[in-house]
Amino acid sequence: MKTLYLRTVFTFLAIVLISISVAFFVTSHLYTKQSQSQMRTDIIKTANQAIVEYKHHSLHDFANYAHVVASMQGYDIEVYNGASSIMNGRAYGVNPNLETPVPLVQQVLAGNTVELFDGAYHTPMPHHTFVGVGIPFSIGQTQYAMFVSPRLPPPPPRAGFPRFLVTVLLIVLVVGSLLILVASRYLIRPIQMITAATRRVAKGDFDVAIRFNRSDEIGVLAESFTAMTQELKQMETMRQDFVSNVSHEIQSPLTSIRGFSKALREGIIPEHERDRYLEAIEVESERISRMSENLLKLASLESDHHPIKMKSYRLDEQIRRTILITEPQWSEKDLHIELELPKTVLTADQDLLEQVWMNLLVNSIRYTPFGGRLMVRITSDETNVKVQVEDTGIGIPKSEQQKVFQRFYKVDKARSRAEGGSGLGLSIVKRIVDLHQGHIQLESDVGRGTTFTVILPTKQNA
């Protein structure tokens, strides 16, 4: 298996090798061009100096000219005044074996400066090396051609310096490769740790935390992974609690029903108590039915496929109807109801919001003691509608307020079970409000009461 570490190392090495190869050929080419340019400059300078000396001395003063030519060590010089060489011998610092082609001599005598290349006269190819120059000059009415070239053959274009360059590039390659190995491990190590942590999470171990003291993308990834792991851990805890709560909430009424049914079947219940036992069975059955209905509703709302039928309607009238429906419950506890419901038109799913008001009112009535107060008010502006349900009930501790919208969560479990609560009502409320692009707020003081505030947009976005 090709690991990311190996891929990174091989990629970096390939980049280094390609870069070094390109650098070698480009540098070698530039060095060759620069060397030939410098050689051309030196040869032309020598040729001009030789011409000056040749003009200065008499053509017959060969001894003095020979001394000048001898001082120009390392160069061969030929001078022509026609098809024949005037100077042709070692005594004059000239290689007697030199024989410049006649056409080339004629070009220079015609007044043209020509450059000499190995393998070609004056038409260089990319692989040819500059080896000399032919320069025209005149003395009086006589035209001459002087050819100057290095006495020693020029070094190959890629000798000497390229060897040094190759050595330097090899050192760069070795050192760079070692640094790449170290840097790659530094880069890949965090990813390997995240991969190992991911495998632990996949096996159900959510007690994983990755901490890197770095602020780059790897650090952000580690922080995001840790946050995700904590969320997964919380979700797993909620799932386990959900399964446990569902089992408990269903098992409790089923146990009651089974016990009552057995007592009735065996005839151990007096005749005048039979109706009370049958009523208890009916109540527990309705409790299971209500819980199942709420679970199905909550699952539908959380599936993101629940149909929402938006329409404009009178919100104040809807809340009044809900107050009227719950009258038997708040009348039984002699609660004082206060309403501030100005005419308010809202665009929303009427049936879903009716469930919201019903759950909030029933919840407030359930936890408000006898003779308490319940207030519902509506306020609105151009963009939002705010509905507040306030009671003087037992209140919710600060430590519990963030949990009340979780499924099956109950602040007072014993009282909730006695009152018939399942712990799903506020979860349903929260989800419906979210589907309407709104939000719900909670303010509560223990012993003083609770206020739920639902804020909804007046008109839903398309």
All residues at 6 or more sequence positions from 91 whose CB lies less than 8 Å from its CB, including other chains: 62, 66
What is the model's pLDDT at position 288? 76
| 23 & 127 share domain | yes
The tens digit of pLDDT for each residue in 162-201 reads 666 667 777 777 777 777 777 777 777 777 788 888 888 8
| 271 & 360 share domain | no
| 277 & 330 share domain | no
Dig out the tokens for 296 from the structure: 């199905």
| 372 & 255 share domain | no
What is the model's pLDDT at position 99? 60
Q: Is residue 172 part of a domain?
A: no
Q: Is residue 193 part of a domain?
A: no
Q: What is the pTM of this model?
A: 0.46
| 420 & 372 share domain | yes
Number of folded domains in the chain? 3
What is the model's pLDDT at position 182? 73
- The domain that holds 251 is classified in CATH as 1.10.287.130
| 284 & 342 share domain | no
Is residue 224 within 8 A of residue 198, CB to CB? The reply is no
Q: Is residue 156 part of a domain?
A: no
What is the model's pLDDT at position 454? 94
Would residue 136 be called left, alpha or beta, if left means φ above 0 and alpha means ψ between -120 and 50 degrees?
beta
- The domain that holds 124 is classified in CATH as 3.30.450
Pick from 19, 21, 75, 22: nearest CA to 46: 75
| 301 & 314 share domain | no
Q: Is residue 135 part of a domain?
A: yes
Domain boundary among 132, 150, 168: 150
* Residues in the chain, pLDDT under 70: 1-5, 7, 9, 54, 57-74, 82-100, 118-130, 151-166, 216, 238, 241-242, 245-246, 248-249, 252, 294, 298, 302-306, 407-423, 460-462
The tens digit of pLDDT for each residue in 97-123 reads 456 677 778 888 888 888 777 644 444
Q: Is residue 76 part of a domain?
A: yes
Is residue 12 within 8 A of residue 184, CB to CB? The reply is yes
Domain boundary among 306, 339, 363: 306
- The domain that holds 421 is classified in CATH as 3.30.565.10
Q: Is residue 107 part of a domain?
A: yes
What is the model's pLDDT at position 89? 32
| 10 & 114 share domain | yes
Its domain, for residue 75, covers 4-150
Q: Is residue 41 part of a domain?
A: yes
Q: Is residue 145 part of a domain?
A: yes
Q: What is the DSSP string of 216-239?
A: SHHHHHHHHHHHHHHHHHHHHHHH
